[in-house]
Structure 1
Amino acid sequence: MSIPSPELAVGDPLPPLSLKDQDGREIKLSKFRGRPLILYFYPANETPGCTKQACSFRDSYEDYRKLGATVVGVSGDSPESHKAFKAKYNLPYTLLSDEGNKVRKAFGVPADFFGALAGRQTYVVNRQGIITLIYNNQFQPEKHVPETLKVLQA
């Protein structure tokens, strides 16, 4: 996995990377090229804000599908934890495991509370693989959905 440093910005290409999904399969983000991608980083499964965010993406999933977009969530949780979280909340999209938070750090997702809390940041990537929006809002996780839908609809 080759990720530029120190962080990604709007206009940058999405780096080629591969992470394990909730079923333990290696997933390359390049497989989503050709359609918009919503890649959201969240702190952890089963926390109140993260559950609210995941369910917000779930509840708007059809809106994303109609716009041809794919939603993918990323956290440092294990594939097994993702599998249970996905099943419990009936999440229709892929969850990727960034154990050790290497990708999160390389992307430049800021941490909160002096680094004690992993950040919550969403990237909108266009059909060509270019980042068109970076949205960060740690404390209003449900806001990530309307912000990303606005960009896709524009």
Structure 2
Amino acid sequence: MPIPQTGNPAPDFQLKDQNGNDVKLSQLRGKNVVLYFYPKDNTPGCTREACDFRDEHSALGAAGAVVLGVSPDDARSHQKFATKFSLPFPLLVDPGNQVAGSYGVWGEKSLYGRTFLGITRATFLIDTEGKVARVWPKVKVDGHVQEILATLKGGAPAEEPKKPSATKKAAPTKKVVAKKAAPAKKAVAKKPAPAKKAVPMKKMAARKSAARR
């Protein structure tokens, strides 16, 4: 069967939980129901998801919601799983996967090239009138319960802050260092040659006559 769409009545069911108690969807009218389907007890992803529901169970209850988990496991497996991780909500036994089928989450799956029948991890939020308020058809475990809480509180879940992109830092611009001009050589004025002293005429004549002798 196809997955029930938002606004449509949620398929009713009556199943037993891990302790043999009957749980009927129609008896939960007036409350929001978080019905989540998961592949298998005590596996890594399913354990993380269940523990997230456990850790936020009080907050979900304060928002008027009841949590119900469903997987193909039997009551004994559910009981061990719930006890091991102190799960405070019912894990429902779904004989023949009839309820999973009515919610469109039971069918053919493939993993590592192998095809098999199994449950798709999915969550349905059913409102106080028994209608589907929201569907998460392919759940990613991380942050899923916080998203459900945000929806119950009437707001969109906060986005994770984006990590700054690892862009290369621009190389610092090199400072242009102006070369210092070489100091101008001081012009050294040449000293004028000492003027020759004029010899008096009488001394010149005396010298000439002495030379003739």
| Alpha-carbon shift at residue 36 of structure 1 (Å) | 0.7
Q: In the alignment, is the contact (CA less than 8 A) between 1:10 and 1:133 conserved in 2? A: yes
| Aligned counterpart, 2:122 | 121
Q: How many positions carry a matched residue from both structures? A: 149
SS of the equivalent of 1:57 reads helix
Q: In the alignment, is the contact (CA less than 8 A) between 1:36 and 1:125 conserved in 2? A: yes
Q: Root-mean-square deviation (CA), in Å?
A: 1.7
- Cα shift readout 1:44-82 (whole Å, capped 9, x = no counterpart): 101110001000100111110111111110111111111
Whole-Å separation in 1 of the counterparts to 2:32 and 2:149: 11
| Aligned counterpart, 1:33 | 29
Q: Which ranges of structure 1 fall in alignment gaps of 5 or more residues? A: none
- Cα shift readout 1:7-38 (whole Å, capped 9, x = no counterpart): 31111112221111111222111121101110
More helix by percentage: 1
| Aligned counterpart, 2:150 | 150
SS of the equivalent of 2:23 reads strand
Q: Report the CA distance shift for 1:150/1:115 in structure 2 as closer, same or farther (over 3 A).
A: farther
| Aligned counterpart, 2:138 | 137
Instruction: Specify the code of the residue in structure 2 equivalent to 1:146.
Output: Q
Instruction: Specify the code of the residue in structure 2 equivalent to 1:134.
Output: V
- Kindly indicate whether residue 84 of structure 2 is the aligned counterpart of residue 108 of structure 1: no
Whole-Å separation in 2 of the counterparts to 1:26 and 1:117: 24
Q: Report the CA distance shift for 1:85/1:147 in structure 2 as closer, same or farther (over 3 A).
A: same
Instruction: Specify the code of the residue in structure 2 equivalent to 1:102.
Output: Q
| Alpha-carbon shift at residue 151 of structure 1 (Å) | 1.3
Bigger RCO (CA 8 Å, 6+ sep): 1
Q: Which ranges of structure 2 fall in alignment gaps of 5 or more residues? A: 155-213
**With structure 1 as the length reference, what TM-score do the two structures score?**
0.88
